[in-house]
Structure 1
């Protein structure tokens, strides 16, 4: 186990600061502050009185001089006496805190003066040995989506869910320490980075996505990294309705589509919320269906048990011996042998698209995302190399959604939000039908289910009328609103509620009373065994 703290202290002794962590200046006004790890780490968003610039301050409780000496001894003992856990599923932080506690009890010279002092030391030990060192507060903050370091002597930037792009008070000023930090991140992800292999795309513990470059091999500013944080508890479809990403009627419509193995493509730019939406919609799939997901890095998180998760692998090796890469194309082909009801590809951009569309042709359900700013651009990409999808196969992808991150103004204040701009269906003749669109002037969704070709298709498949399917969509819309009113928004609670709904409601049932709806909800809460929120 590596301690970056020891490296930084060595550089400080040489009168060269390794990392500058700026304190909160007196000419900054606090806009918001909250605990990230009480009482040791706090996030403060402050505004410069002079320039009006917002800045994120990661503030930690510092170690006193006597505590710093004990900290260094405990880290040294950990490196000498404790082996890393064999089980990769073990929580690294809990493991380090537990082992450090054992060492404190074993050796008198490691014992702090008080329990408060001991807990403060253990926080810093866990932060540097098992955690993310200088950026640990940023990694713990649930409001941060992305963390970017553009090189030395440039502040680390974050994307905050409320305040968007912000510079932080953390700046790497030593190239060597930044290089060491990049190597540590690579090791934490189980990968290798060096001058010979200076580009890295990997997954950190906690499923956070890491992209990094090493030294000045490909970047003029030295090593760089970008971490896209994985949301451990994903947004549910009710969360998306609550945030205004889509409305209750679109959510109910999508619920009926995925139940009936209709395929869905989600389009959008970088950071638009494609994977978040994909995850929320995929959670609506019937619990008994078999799902196979294929990704480059693990970002999809489903509540289903009958789920196989495939991750691609890049070519790697040393001394001339190399293990061949496992591509998305290979994994989508492999997934067909698992007899899935649904194949979900995190993002298509290559030859794997052809195999996915072939799977749709054989009756599998499918979902994916794609970088595209419009439906026309998506079609051009799909029908051009390297995807090469014939236009006659395009209707196999039944529904298409375009999501976008946009800025809206309300009450004189602007904020960034995500909205489903348009939902289309592609009928058997290759004609596009607009089912829903967002009207920015009024911030409302216009939905026309009477224009739906897929609802007619589902009705024929089930041997019922189109009115029966529309009635069921309306019933599910009411159920989603019930979940919202009752505060049932968490991923697990919503998934449990959907399972209970599947058990007790059918298309041919003419009426479901509010009492029956509440009974379904009550049983779902009991089965989940957790708070609804």
Structure 2
């Protein structure tokens, strides 16, 4: 109980610091630039920044980073529920140099996200410009940059400062190094956005137009960032280079992955987008969201997750379906944490989004070919036709999802994961399922009728009898209630049982449904349990009891705050080895784990 009190006290202290120091930082760093160079003011700022950094990223007795992040979540959620006209919140992104301010702007009558960077004095800006020019004239071994570009750049900057005798103290040096790292190795004008863990999407719709972001707490909001035409064209070219991709007037569109794994779509100049160059970034979460975290957000229930867990254990195939940004890949990635550690997994994707805590995993990614495309490909580098069943590439070296899936079937996988089913690979995937290869994947559709219409038409062309080989389809959606706050929910889980050969209609069962008024998930009846019982020689009553026990285990993890994906994965693997002991141990020691925030007990 004493530890709980300390945690509450720390939470209150952090909240107070947010309110008192946050607004002062915003005012000082973004407006009172002229005062920062004064020694007394700078000393005070350094002390305040150190205190804020210590509070948010403290270790040991002050609390773990996860606990502190949870406090900031609570604080921001409280602010988001306040009247929009009163919202004015500042929170740390990468202290002591990066913060974010979200404030209601009466002129545009909406919230505006303002990145708050450290400010430089005129003298510091002159030194920054000089150092930047000198760095351009230094020959740097590319091999060194690949190993540790940030550390190497820091060393070169310090050498220049010492060589030319620049009168900069330690804090000023850190400020200049930060600015150089942001431009040379970071993301320049959107560096704060890329470091903000609350940002899910970043969208630039053209030059001299405000960038928009999708904030995990405040949802879609505009930013104070505007990029002119020339700088935007240069920035799009830089982003393409960071991805190792080519974009030009002749090929003005490209899809790629940034070094951190984020998915990006780029267009150059006004060739295909009339407002100029654009980019759209889907942020990649470096730390995967665990199934227990999804429970904490209310996206899925413990019973649903336990049901999926049992299906995967008994080699059933699951398809996650939903609209754009409905959390399909997030749910798919979370379900993969229920796979046995000994299982061989092969995933195939256009852009790498799946992130598994699994050693026996082959991650395959498509590749764009070389040279100009032949029939069926456009000058932009995108395929305009349909992938041939023969798997013949459209350009030399072109590797499609279909090619990867055919290769995966030759690798004897226990599970095949298709990041997004959308082309001719669907036919091969459902063939693989029908002959006993358990598979998981995502697809864009909001209901079973929409799903069937898409599956049976070009370019997938999957016959209905073949589609019936899938065992379960989970439908995710973005919904909003009376408060108009958007949330993600797994609104429906449908079992695909068989095909009526007289009517050609699918025989289905809605095993889970979501009540939007009560915001609750209801378990109905599972006919798949009957099939598993016959196939594997287990009692149906055992499966139902096992589902409830696993649901209670997951509920315990959620209740005790054990949400880290590594912890959850290890507990799942421990459950496979000794279910009774793991279940009892979590129930008995869960509170201790929560209080101490241990890495893991296994």
Q: Normalised by the shorter chain, which TM-score bucket? A: 0.7 to 0.9
**1:100 paired to 2:157:** yes
What is the rounded CA distance, in whole Å, between the counterparts of 1:319 and 1:243 in structure 2?
45
Change (3 A) 1:467 1:350: same
What is the rounded CA distance, in whole Å, between the counterparts of 1:515 and 1:340 in structure 2?
33
Greater mean alpha carbon deviation, residues 454-463 or residues 126-135:
454-463
Greater mean alpha carbon deviation, residues 48-57 or residues 394-403:
48-57
Q: What whole-Å deviation, never above 9, does each CA across 1:303-357 have from its counterpart, x for those lacking one?
A: 110000011112233899x743111111111111111111100111110001111
What is the rounded CA distance, in whole Å, between the counterparts of 1:310 and 1:523 in structure 2?
40
Q: What whole-Å deviation, never above 9, does each CA across 1:186-215 have from its counterpart, x for those lacking one?
A: 000001111111001011110011101111
Question: Of the candidates 398, 414, 434, which is equivalent to residue 325 of structure 1?
Answer: 398
Change (3 A) 1:408 1:222: same
Q: For residue 97 of structure 1, report the CA deviation from its aligned partner.
A: 3.2
**What is the match of residue 488 of structure 2?**
418
**1:342 paired to 2:422:** no
What is the rounded CA distance, in whole Å, between the counterparts of 2:172 and 2:86 in structure 1?
31
**What is the match of residue 3 of structure 1?**
none
Structure 1: runs of 5 or more not aligned: 1-21, 506-510
Q: For residue 32 of structure 1, report the CA deviation from its aligned partner.
A: 1.7
Question: Of the candidates 385, 395, 400, which is equivalent to residue 458 of structure 2?
Answer: 385
What is the aligned residue count? 493
**What is the match of residue 443 of structure 1?**
519
Q: For residue 522 of structure 1, report the CA deviation from its aligned partner.
A: 10
**1:149 paired to 2:223:** no
Question: Of the candidates 470, 474, 478, which is equivalent to residue 401 of structure 1?
Answer: 474
Q: For residue 523 of structure 1, report the CA deviation from its aligned partner.
A: 12
What is the rounded CA distance, in whole Å, between the counterparts of 1:326 and 1:446 in structure 2?
43
Q: What whole-Å deviation, never above 9, does each CA across 1:476-520 have from its counterpart, x for those lacking one?
A: 111101211221101111111111111112xxxxx6686433579
**What is the match of residue 241 of structure 2?**
187
Structure with more strand by fraction: 1
Q: Is the contact made by 1:152 and 1:222 (CA closer than 8 Å) also made in structure 2?
A: yes
Q: For residue 291 of structure 1, report the CA deviation from its aligned partner.
A: 0.5
Question: Of the candidates 332, 343, 355, which is equivalent to residue 428 of structure 2?
Answer: 355
What is the rounded CA distance, in whole Å, between the counterparts of 1:96 and 1:30 in structure 2?
39
Change (3 A) 1:64 1:23: closer
What is the rounded CA distance, in whole Å, between the counterparts of 2:206 and 2:107 in structure 1?
27
What is the rounded CA distance, in whole Å, between the counterparts of 1:338 and 1:323 in structure 2?
24
Question: Of the candidates 231, 235, 254, which is equivalent to residue 177 of structure 1?
Answer: 231
What is the rounded CA distance, in whole Å, between the counterparts of 1:340 and 1:425 in structure 2?
24
TM-score of the two chains, using structure 2 as the length reference: 0.77
Structure 2: runs of 5 or more not aligned: 1-28, 33-84, 375-394, 500-505
Q: For residue 30 of structure 1, report the CA deviation from its aligned partner.
A: 4.8
What is the rounded CA distance, in whole Å, between the counterparts of 2:364 and 2:213 in structure 1?
29
Q: Is the contact made by 2:553 and 2:587 (CA closer than 8 Å) also made in structure 1?
A: no
Cα RMSD, aligned residues only: 2.7
Structure with more helix by fraction: 2
**What is the match of residue 599 of structure 2?**
530
Question: Of the candidates 115, 119, 132, which is equivalent to residue 58 of structure 1?
Answer: 115
Change (3 A) 1:354 1:520: farther
Q: What whole-Å deviation, never above 9, does each CA across 1:377-411 have from its counterpart, x for those lacking one?
A: 111111122111111112211000110011123xx
